[in-house]
């Protein structure tokens, strides 16, 4: 794999945002998302402020806009749904360019589009500035259940291996002239899935035995632990606190 | 089906988050019993498998394709508790690393796609396996039925959540119809591919299929002195009493029926509304039970309207539980009688 040794979601860098300990960044992003969702939808200016805040974080982390935009593709299905809302919504209708649209539907579409986009951009920035491994160390520092963190660790570590196995099987299928056209091809796909399960499960058993032979006793040793100083907590709190102030203002105004 | 931020209001998001956290807590403890210290590596690899399999697009009908949710598949292959953990980890990773599904909607996503699909799928699977003859051929059929039911069940729970705290102004009956219709189709595809996958694993490594434990044939040692049968090891998980589950479910149902209907608005529900708008109920005759004490969800003789609706809700749940219990009891007795006759 010539793509280098870092994950494609992660953009290596050495900025303030990159250097923040993960256990500060995770709650900051989660709190930001909660504040955005709790903002009343008619406070247009508040969403503008949120967007500016995220733009500020992106600029500080030197993440180019093109990178963020390319990764925002995951949002497309819900954008389609949101665009359909004004047409199928209930309630009073208005004429816009000769099309009858529902007022409530327009509000709901705006609400979902604005909040979902802000949430997606915040997660993209988090993933772009935090190494996957560090993110899980942060989750562990936040005292998430250890088993859950370990499962996520193993999943991330072996995800590329399993995806590669699946890719090899796909190449093998297609080089024999296979194309999934309709339901009759399902048995072939299902056999691939079954083979993939057996390979994953057996690899899991091998990994477990290899770990046992290296002294695994149910918990992972911590090699590089990252402590967080009060200063880094304060820096990480800038985003959610600024968002909370904006939201508080919008609540008092509405 | 990944719900983004802003789709549900804050109250529903937080409630679903609390429910998902509680569910994960239970599953963490039970999964350790299913897998002991192998939990982390095994569940991690199975989670990676589910992540990969969700990328496997299969053709549904005329040009559209769907992908697997994998809740039932995982439940049949590795057991229900591990399955919930695996799918939940997949959703967490998708939310935090791939920005797929909102962070505030994680609770809703985990509830719908991990807990509901695995629990409903596993329940239906076990029910069918128990009623069907003890044969290996019954396992894929049961997996098919479990997966077919689990996907519309998740869509149904989505509709209920949407009814409580959705932010879009769509008629709830059209949501139910659209979600239900699409997800019955997706469910059929999911069921087919789940059944075929389970049967292909069953053909190669039957010992890996959690749902087929206990179907192992006894080992026969053929010696000069005659045949000796060595009974297979009993499944390690002891049969637990389902009483706590039943009591908990009953408490939740009664609370929901009593408290929620106490506060529910008295506006007509979607179907009644559509019926009223379109003049469908012009010819509607009184229901045969229109004069019964529970007619139109209110108890006669109880003055306060909200209280009356609440009492009617609790009574409705009671009647439903009694009727369902009676059906279940008869089915179970039927299933047991041939077994006794054979023994």
- More reliable by pLDDT, B323 or B277: B323
What gap in Å lies between CA A189 and CA B260, rounded to an integer? 45
Tokens of A228: 């967080």
CB distance B144 to B195 below 8 Å: yes
Average pLDDT value for residue range A141-169: 86
Q: What are the Cα distances from residue B249, in Å, to B13, B79, B108?
A: 21, 21, 19
Percent of chain A at pLDDT > 70 equals 91
A53 pLDDT above the threshold of 60: yes
What gap in Å lies between CA A185 and CA A176, rounded to an integer? 14
B295 pLDDT above the threshold of 50: no
Q: Which of B196-200, B236-240, B280-284, B336-340 has the lowest mean pLDDT?
A: B280-284
Please state, rounded to an integer, the average pLDDT across all residues of chain B: 73
Could you tell me the pLDDT band of residue B245, with boundaries at 50, 70 and 90? low
B53 pLDDT above the threshold of 70: yes
ipTM: 0.86
Q: Which of A36-40, A240-244, B293-297, B312-316 has the lowest mean pLDDT?
A: B293-297
Q: What phi and psi values does residue B202 have, to the nearest 5 degrees?
A: -60, -30
Average pLDDT value for residue range A83-88: 74
Number of H helices and E strands in chain B, helices first, is 12, 4
B5, B171, B197 member nearest A36 (Cβ): B5
Cα angle value A87/B4/A112 (rounded, 5°): 40
B240 pLDDT above the threshold of 60: no
Which residues from chain B sit within 8 angstroms of residue A201, using beta carbons? 42, 45-46, 49, 78, 205, 208
Please state, rounded to an integer, the average pLDDT across all residues of chain A: 82
What gap in Å lies between CA A58 and CA A56, rounded to an integer? 5
Which residues from chain A sit within 8 angstroms of residue B42, using beta carbons? 201, 204-205, 208
A77 pLDDT above the threshold of 80: no
- More reliable by pLDDT, A92 or A26: A26
Average pLDDT value for residue range B126-148: 87
Map out the domains of chain B with their CATH numbers: 1-214 (1.10.1760.20), 243-278+290-343 (no CATH)
- Chain B: residue nearest A28 by CA? B103
Q: Which residues pair with A160 in a beta bridge?
A: none
What gap in Å lies between CA B63 and CA B52, rounded to an integer? 22
B199 pLDDT above the threshold of 80: yes
- More reliable by pLDDT, B106 or A81: B106
Q: Please indicate whether, in this complex, the C-beta atoms of A119 and B77 are within 8 angstroms of each other.
A: no
Tokens of A101: 């649209």
Domain residue limits, chain A: 16-138+229-253, 145-212
Which residues from chain B sit within 8 angstroms of residue A105, using beta carbons? 168-170
Given this model, what pLDDT does residue B333 score?
A: 54
Q: Please indicate whether, in this complex, the C-beta atoms of A197 and B208 are within 8 angstroms of each other.
A: yes
What gap in Å lies between CA B137 and CA B21, rounded to an integer? 37
| Helices marked H in B278-304 | none
Which residues from chain A sit within 8 angstroms of residue B58, using beta carbons? 180, 185-186, 189
- More reliable by pLDDT, B144 or B99: B144
Q: Please indicate whether, in this complex, the C-beta atoms of B102 and A180 are within 8 angstroms of each other.
A: no
Q: What phi and psi values does residue A40 have, to the nearest 5 degrees?
A: -65, 145
CB distance A136 to A130 below 8 Å: no
What gap in Å lies between CA A141 and CA B37, rounded to an integer? 21
Given this model, what pLDDT does residue B284 score?
A: 42
Q: What is the DSSP string of B86-117?
A: HHHHHHHHHHHHS--S-STTHHHHIIIIIIIH
A192 pLDDT above the threshold of 70: yes
Chosen for mutation from B40, B54, B68, B276 (greatest number of chain A CBs closer than 10 Å) is B40
Q: What are the Cα distances from residue B214, in Å, to A23, B95, B211, B235?
A: 45, 37, 9, 6
A69 pLDDT above the threshold of 50: yes
Is the CB of residue B22 less than 8 Å away from at least one CB of chain A? no
Could you tell me the pLDDT band of residue B37, with boundaries at 50, 70 and 90? low
- More reliable by pLDDT, B316 or A101: A101
Average pLDDT value for residue range B180-189: 82
Average pLDDT value for residue range B175-200: 84
Element (H, E) at B58: strand B57-61
Could you tell me the pLDDT band of residue B307, with boundaries at 50, 70 and 90? low
Given this model, what pLDDT does residue B334 score?
A: 53
Average pLDDT value for residue range B189-198: 88
A195 pLDDT above the threshold of 80: yes
A52 pLDDT above the threshold of 80: yes
CB distance A25 to A236 below 8 Å: yes
Is the CB of residue B48 less than 8 Å away from at least one CB of chain A? yes
Question: Between residues 142 and 201 of chain B, which touch chain A (CB distance below 8 Å)?
Answer: 167-171, 174, 189, 192-193, 195-201
Given this model, what pLDDT does residue B11 score?
A: 81
- More reliable by pLDDT, A3 or A24: A24
A73 secondary structure, DSSP code: G
B322 pLDDT above the threshold of 70: no
Is the CB of residue B38 less than 8 Å away from at least one CB of chain A? yes
Question: Between residues 91 and 110 of chain B, which touch chain A (CB distance below 8 Å)?
Answer: 92-93, 95-100, 102-104
Average pLDDT value for residue range B204-233: 77
Question: In which region does residue A198 sit, left (phi positive, over 0), alpha (psi from -120 to 50) or beta (all else)?
Answer: alpha
A38, A90, A150 member nearest B40 (Cβ): A150
- Annotate A89-114 with b (16+ C-beta within 10 A) or e (fewer): beeebeeeeeeebbebbbbbbbbbbb
């Amino acid at each position: 794999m010539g793509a280098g040794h870092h994950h494609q979601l992660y953009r290596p860098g050495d900025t303030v945002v990159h250097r923040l300990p993960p256990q500060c960044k995770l709650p900051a992003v989660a709190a930001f998302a909660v504040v955005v969702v709790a903002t009343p939808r008619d406070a247009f200016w508040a969403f503008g402020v949120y967007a500016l805040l995220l733009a500020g974080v992106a600029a500080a982390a030197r993440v180019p806009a093109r990178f963020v935009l390319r990764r925002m593709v995951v949002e497309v299905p819900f954008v389609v749904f949101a665009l359909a809302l004004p047409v199928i919504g209930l309630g009073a209708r208005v004429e816009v360019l000769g099309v009858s649209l529902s007022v409530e539907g327009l509000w709901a579409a705006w609400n979902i589009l604005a909040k979902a986009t802000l949430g997606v951009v915040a997660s993209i920035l988090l993933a772009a500035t935090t190494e996957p491994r560090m993110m899980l160390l942060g989750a562990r520092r936040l005292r998430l259940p250890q088993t859950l963190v370990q499962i996520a660790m193993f999943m991330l570590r072996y995800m590329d291996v399993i995806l590669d196995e699946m890719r090899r099987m796909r190449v093998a299928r297609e080089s024999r002239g296979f194309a999934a056209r309709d339901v009759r091809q399902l048995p072939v796909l299902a056999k691939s899935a079954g083979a993939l399960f057996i390979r994953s499960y057996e690899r899991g058993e091998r990994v477990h035995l290899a770990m046992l032979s290296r002294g695994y006793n149910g918990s992972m040793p911590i090699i590089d632990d990252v402590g967080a100083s009060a200063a880094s907590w304060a820096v990480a709190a800038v985003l959610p606190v600024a968002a909370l102030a904006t939201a508080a203002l919008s609540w008092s105004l509405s | 089906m990944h719900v983004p931020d802003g789709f549900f209001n804050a109250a529903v998001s937080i409630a679903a988050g609390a429910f998902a956290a509680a569910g994960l807590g239970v599953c963490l403890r039970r999964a350790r019993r299913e897998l002991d210290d192998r939990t982390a590596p095994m569940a991690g690899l199975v989670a990676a498998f589910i992540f990969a399999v969700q990328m496997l697009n299969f053709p549904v009908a005329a040009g559209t394709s769907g992908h697997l949710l994998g809740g039932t598949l995982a439940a049949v292959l590795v057991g229900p508790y591990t399955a919930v953990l695996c799918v939940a980890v997949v959703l967490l990773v998708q939310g935090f690393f791939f920005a797929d599904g909102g962070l505030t909607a994680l609770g809703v996503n985990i509830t719908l796609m991990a807990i509901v699909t695995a629990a409903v799928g596993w329940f239906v699977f076990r029910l069918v396996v128990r009623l069907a003859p003890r044969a290996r051929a019954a396992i894929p059929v049961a997996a098919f039925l479990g997966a077919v039911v689990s996907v519309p069940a998740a869509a149904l729970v989505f509709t209920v959540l949407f009814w409580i705290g959705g932010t879009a102004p769509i008629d709830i009956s059209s949501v139910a119809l659209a979600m239900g219709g699409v997800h019955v189709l997706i469910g059929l595809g999911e069921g087919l591919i789940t059944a075929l996958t389970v049967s292909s694993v069953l053909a190669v490594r039957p010992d890996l299929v959690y749902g087929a434990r206990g179907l192992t044939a006894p080992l026969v040692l053929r010696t000069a002195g005659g045949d000796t049968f060595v009974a297979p090891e009993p499944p390690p998980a002891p049969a637990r009493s389902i009483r706590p589950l039943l009591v908990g479910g009953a408490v939740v149902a009664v609370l929901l029926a009593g408290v929620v209907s106490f506060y529910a608005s008295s506006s007509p529900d979607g179907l009644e509304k559509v019926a009223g708008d379109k003049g469908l109920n012009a010819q509607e005759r009184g229901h045969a039970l229109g004069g019964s004490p529970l007619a139109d969800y209110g108890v006669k003789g109880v003055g306060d309207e909200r209280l009356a609706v609440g009492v009617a809700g609790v009574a409705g749940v009671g009647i439903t539980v009694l009727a369902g219990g009676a059906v279940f009891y008869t089915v179970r007795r039927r299933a047991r009688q041939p077994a006794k006759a054979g023994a």
